Amino acid sequence: MGAWQRGGDQEPRAPRLSSTAPDGVRNYRPGGLRRVFLLLLSAVLLFCVLTYLLAWVNVAPAPGRVELPQGLAGEAREVTFRSSDGTSLTGWLCVPAGRPPRGVVILCHGIRASRLAMAENARFLLDAGYAALAFDFRAHGESGGSRITLGWRETEDVLSACAYVRELPELRACQVAVIGDSMGGAAAIMAAARDPLISAVVAQSPYSRLDRAVRNHFRSAFGPLAWLVAWPVRLWGELLIGQRADRVSPEASMAELGSRPVLLIAGGRDRLCPVEEARRLQAVGGNANNLVATLPANITGAPKIFFSAHFDTVEPNPNLNIIIQDGVIRTDGTSILGADDKAGMSAILEAIRIVVENNLPHGQIQLLFTVCEEIGLRGARALDLSLVDTDFGFVYDTGPPVGTVITQTPTHDTMHVRLLGKPAHAGVEPEKGVSAIQIAAHAISQMRLGRIDAETTANIGSIHGGQATNVVCPEVALTAEARSLNRQKVEAQVAHMTQLFEQAAQQFGGQAIIEIDRHYEGYTLTENDLPVQVVRRALKSIGLDAPMRPTGGGADANIFIARGLPCCVVGTAHQKIHTHEEFVRIDDLARSVDLTLAIIREVANMR
């Protein structure tokens, strides 16, 4: 019998090592570390699988038989048409009998629903004399498609539905509008931005951007642990639908709708697409669009460049009374001058006029004039990059000296905070209530605000809440921001503010709902960056000098750089911006024109 065997029928096994060495020190046991590693690896793999499944559940098809409701029997016919990628879409076409329709409305249901959800809308429209097309989005109801894309490809479905009804003889003369719910509302907005013939949009509970919708969804399901789940699910989802979530953006599309009527509907208790989402969309709307103009090159081989400025001003000034005195342009003090950014735009336009009238040599030049800069760089976000053909450019949007180059800007986060308390009669039983105002006051009183350090600032911008003096305030809404030239510092400041809101809510028995949005990313430029080099050489060629400096504000350049358009912010003539003391020196305007011409010359010489 071998030395390894203890009993007659037992399997042999290796002898165990002693648990301690002769000197009393425990032996190294690699098997234990391997088990820990395998356990951790298994946990990571399980987490990946579970988050993938969560992502798949949200994009998996939702097919099903859709029966025509009794209320539309005899007045709706089933139709089939194809989306732009060939996906077959099924719907009901409802046309009022005995009279020409007053218009036609495309009806777009929400996620994991079907055209049946829009049947009552179709009935209402028929009774009002409108035709309606209620259809199933791809991967819904009786339409084809292998997966839901959460608004991205569904936008193509809306555009195809509009094209389909325009081809029908009985509807060819009708204006087309779109009504959408949730995902359908988001797709309706994005479709209208691409189809100028869509005359109006009604969007009920739309999201402003898909990445925010994902965040809201998991916040409602997982509470404080939402961040742990939302980001991997978002990554899996982006792989499944084939598009980044932050690029599925009704918010970016709103600026392109111009003066077309848009009705946004939101519910105060909707946590997936809360009222704040509609407010974001509302803030983008306007009656003007971005302008992209191209001056073709008259020489070959020169880089393609752009100049950019923004149309909007920080406040309206319809009764502008301009005073020109002693070489200075200002107002009578009753309004802003609006030189931010008219000074930049006028210098660019004057330089282009001189180039064209004198046939000066130049490469291709594009003018990118944006809207909604002052309310969040929204025009730059919405800019259609398919219209842009450029190598690098210059954004005219900072103060003198003329030619100043902004080399560093902060990362800027915004916070939308809802503090929920509990209402009660303030005179009869206030102890049964929880004051949201008290929660807010307690949190803010402990916050580091204003100038945090040389690189960082923070601010509470607005507070709204309360109904009456005899009601314990049940809800307060706040907006706040933090900025820093150091990304880690801005994230630390936001975490500090978030923690205080949440702690105060917990202390008083309320709830804090906080949404954090990266308003824009900061950037850093050096003298080696090509746009900076060109400005510095142009300044030297006309005998000027100007500083390179950081700033605490943002500009369209932040968005352009993030979207892959190299550029730098260049100083123009406006001074004391955003005040009624704003002014411009005429000599500075002339220098700004000279600098623009010098830049064009420098680029032409780069052949």
Cis peptide preceding 401, ω within 30 of 0: yes
> What does 570-588 look like in DSSP terms, one character per residue?
EE-SEESTTSTT-EEEHHH
Residue pair 367/538 in contact (Cβ under 8 Å)? The answer is: no
Q: Which of these, 194, 210, 201, 308, lies nearest to 256 by C-alpha position? A: 194
Which of 256, 312, 475, 481 does the annotation list as catalytic? 312
Residue pair 89/82 in contact (Cβ under 8 Å)? The answer is: yes
Whole-angstrom distance, CA of residue 198 vs CA of residue 205: 20
Q: Provide φ and ψ at 370, rounded to 5°.
A: -110, 165
Q: Which of these, 343, 348, 349, 351, lies nearest to 398 by C-alpha position? A: 343
List C-alpha distances in Å: 298 to 305, 338, 350, 387, 595: 14, 34, 19, 20, 20
Residues 78, 191, 149: CA angle, nearest 5 degrees = 75
Cβ within 8 Å of residue 361, ≥6 positions away: 298, 299, 601, 604
Q: Is 326 buried (19+), middle (13-18) or exposed (0-12) by CB count in 10 A?
A: exposed
Per-residue tokens: 42: 């298994």
Query: What single DSSP character describes residue 245?
Result: G
Cβ within 8 Å of residue 586, ≥6 positions away: 324, 327, 328, 329
Q: Which of these, 156, 145, 161, lies nearest to 81 by C-alpha position? A: 161
List C-alpha distances in Å: 403 to 89, 346, 398: 55, 15, 9
- Active-site residue, 529 included: no
Which residues face 135 on adjacent strands? 91, 108
Residue pair 514/453 in contact (Cβ under 8 Å)? The answer is: no
Task: Determine the residue type at 148.
Answer: I
Cβ within 8 Å of residue 543, ≥6 positions away: none
Which of 276, 341, 373, 517 does the annotation list as catalytic? 373
- Active-site residue, 312 included: yes
Per-residue tokens: 190: 């994005």
Active site residues: 312, 373
